[in-house]
Amino acid sequence: MRRDIFQAVADPTRRAIITLIALQAMTPNAIAEQFNTSRQAVSKHLRILTECELVKGEQKGREIYYRLEVERMKEIDKWLEQFRKIWETRFSQLDELLSTIKKPKT
Amino acid sequence: MRRDIFQAVADPTRRAIITLIALQAMTPNAIAEQFNTSRQAVSKHLRILTECELVKGEQKGREIYYRLEVERMKEIDKWLEQFRKIWETRFSQLDELLSTIKKPKT
DNA sequence: TATAAATGCAACTGATCGGTTTCGCAAATT
DNA sequence: AATTTGCGAAACCGATCAGTTGCATTTATA
């Protein structure tokens, strides 16, 4: 039961669900119709996504609308931060290199 | 054998390895010393990371130095892009709301 | 040349995963 | 009140996973 946001996002179907409901909340049935999967399978994915709070369900009568907790996605972004620093540094080093070539031996 | 960058990053040990070698290339033995895992386990992780080109090994004598292919990490960043748009929109909507409160009925 | 060190690879194992099937429950419809 | 609809939960199944153990190969060292 160790739900991890990275593990949640590892599954392609789950990523597709996330993208699907990113713009508007949807019911499990509606989601399942978009894929070649059963409603129950989607339900299991939604449970996993709910467990790590990537998704939240809101009951409306007998339907449940699931919507993306987009804020939670920032966790991944946060982890990427350290590498973004590196690739930006690489870029500025390249930048520096280029300007060194332009005016060699300042 | 369907190696996917998201699946590669799903494992916490693999994420730790990535972070570890992000700044400087390391050998499997050196990496294994940092964790509570065997060298062989690290080797398997490195194989997976190599398969999806997140990591590249360079032979130096009988040692192999593995370094991070930081460019590859941008794939994850790229996927996040769509959600970044959403949360930035949310933010600017909040921004708009705040300025509406400040000066109501312009 | 014999030995030690660094590594990859294959076989095995218990755990987990993603999916299906079946069931039960609550809300809507007839 | 009986039926249909929308849903989650549990039991099960084959596939995959992460780790261990054992072995083979190449390079450095004694």
> pLDDT 10s digit of each residue in chain B, 106 long?
558 999 999 999 999 999 999 999 999 999 999 998 999 999 999 999 999 999 999 999 999 999 999 999 999 999 999 999 998 887 667 666 666 766 544 4
A9 Cβ contacts chain C strand, under 7 Å: no
- How far from B21 is each of A67, B31, B49, B54, B90, CA to CA, in Å? 37, 8, 12, 11, 36
With CB atoms and an 8 Å threshold, state whether B70 touches A90: yes
Give the model's pLDDT for residue A105. 44
Whether residue A17 is found in the same domain as residue A60: yes
A63 Cβ contacts chain D strand, under 7 Å: yes
Nucleotide minimizing C1' to CA distance for residue A39: D7
With CB atoms and an 8 Å threshold, state whether B9 touches A6: yes
CB B44 within 8 A of CB B50: no
* Residue A19 sits at the chain B interface (C-beta within 8 Å): yes
Whether residue A43 is found in the same domain as residue A92: no
Whether residue B46 is found in the same domain as residue B98: no
Residue ranges of chain A with per-residue pLDDT less than 70 = 1-2, 91-92, 94-99, 101-106
Q: What is the Cα–Cα distance from B70 to B50, expressed in whole angstroms?
A: 13
Backbone angles phi, psi at B21, to 5 degrees: -95, 5
Please count the structural domains in chain B: 2
Domain extent for A91: 73-102
B64 Cβ contacts chain D strand, under 7 Å: no
Whether residue B41 is found in the same domain as residue B66: yes
Give the model's pLDDT for residue B105. 44
Whether residue A84 is found in the same domain as residue A63: no
Whether residue B32 is found in the same domain as residue B55: yes
- How far from A84 is each of A46, A53, A75, CA to CA, in Å? 30, 25, 14
Whether residue B31 is found in the same domain as residue B57: yes
